[in-house]
Chains A and B, each alone.
Chain A
Amino acid sequence: MENNKETKSATQELEAGQAKLQDAQYVLRLYVAGATPKSIRAIENIKRICEEHLKGRYDLEVIDIYQQPVLAKGDQIIAVPTLLRKLPPPLRKFIGDLSATERILLGLDLRPK
Chain B
Amino acid sequence: MEKENKKQLDEELAELRIRLQEAEETISAIRGGEVDGIIFSGPQGEQVFTKTGAEQAYRLLIEAMNEGAVSLNQEGMILYCNHRFAEMVKTPLERVIGTPLRQFVRASDQPLFDALVKKGAQESGKGELVLIHNDGTVLPVLLSVSASQTAHVRSIVVTDLTAQKHIADELKRHREHLEELVKERTNELETSNQQLQKEIAERKQAVEERVNLQFQLNQAQKMEAIGTLAGGIAHDFNNILTAILGYSEFALFQLPEGSKAIEDIEQVIQSGKRATDLVKQILTFSRQGEQMHKPLQIDLVIKEALKLLRSSIPTTIDIQQHVVDCGLVMADPTQVHQIIMNLCTNAYHAMRETGGELDVSMEVVELTKQDYLDTLALQPGPHVKLSVCDTGCGMSKELQERIFEPYYTTKQQGEGTGMGLSVVHGIIKSHHGHITVYSEPGKGTEFHVYLPLVQAQDEGLAKEAGGEILPGSGTILVVDDEPTIGEMLKRMLNSLGYEVLLCSSSTEALEVFTQQRAHIALVLTDMTMPVMNGAELARRIKLLSPTMPVVLCTGFSAIMDEKKARRMGIDGYMMKPVILHKLAQTLHDILEKKSGSRPAG
Q: Enumerate chain A interface residues (CB-CB to B < 8 A).
A: 3, 6-7, 9-11, 32-39, 65-66, 68-70, 72-73, 77-81, 90, 92-97
Contacts and interface: CB of A to CB of B under 8 A. Distances in A.
Contacts of A80: 35-39
Contacts of B11: 10-11
B511 interface: no
A27 to B, nearest CB: 18
Interface stretch (B17-25, B247-255, B416-424, B437-445): B17-25
Interface of B: 10-11, 13-15, 17-18, 21-22, 25-26, 29-30, 34-39, 41, 45-48, 50-51, 53-55, 57-58, 149-150
- Which label, helix, strand, loop or mixed, suits the secondary structure of the A interface? mixed
Question: Which one of B10, B36, B47 has the greatest number of beta carbons of chain A within 10 Å?
Answer: B36
Contacts of A81: 35-36
A95 B34 CA distance: 8
A3 B29 CA distance: 18
B57 A79 contact: no
A39 B149 CA distance: 21
Given A73-B41, A79-B26, A3 B21 contact: yes
A33 B46 CA distance: 13
B57 A34 contact: yes
A84 B390 CA distance: 105
A78 B26 contact: yes
A65 B15 contact: no
Contact of A34 (B15, B46, B50): B50
B80 to A, nearest CB: 15
Given A11-B14, A80-B35, A96-B25, 4 more contacts: A9-B14, A80-B36, A80-B37, A92-B22
Contact of B46 (A3, A32, A37, A69): A69
Given A33-B36, A37-B36, A80-B37, A10 B50 contact: no
Contacts of B29: 79, 95-96
Nearest to A80: B37
| A-B complex: 3 closest residue pairs judged by Cβ atoms | A10-B14, A33-B37, A69-B46
Nearest to A32: B36
A97 B18 CA distance: 20
A77 B30 CA distance: 13
Nearest to A94: B25
Contacts of B57: 34-35
A96 B13 CA distance: 25
B37 A79 contact: yes
B38 A79 contact: yes
Nearest to B41: A73
B39 A69 contact: yes
Contacts of A77: 39
21 contacts: A6-B17, A7-B18, A33-B36, A33-B37, A36-B36, A38-B34, A65-B46, A66-B58, A68-B149, A69-B150, A70-B46, A73-B39, A73-B46, A79-B30, A79-B37, A80-B35, A80-B38, A95-B22, A95-B26, A96-B29, A96-B34
B501 to A, nearest CB: 141
A64 to B, nearest CB: 10
Contacts of A37: 36, 53
Contacts of A65: 37, 39, 46, 48
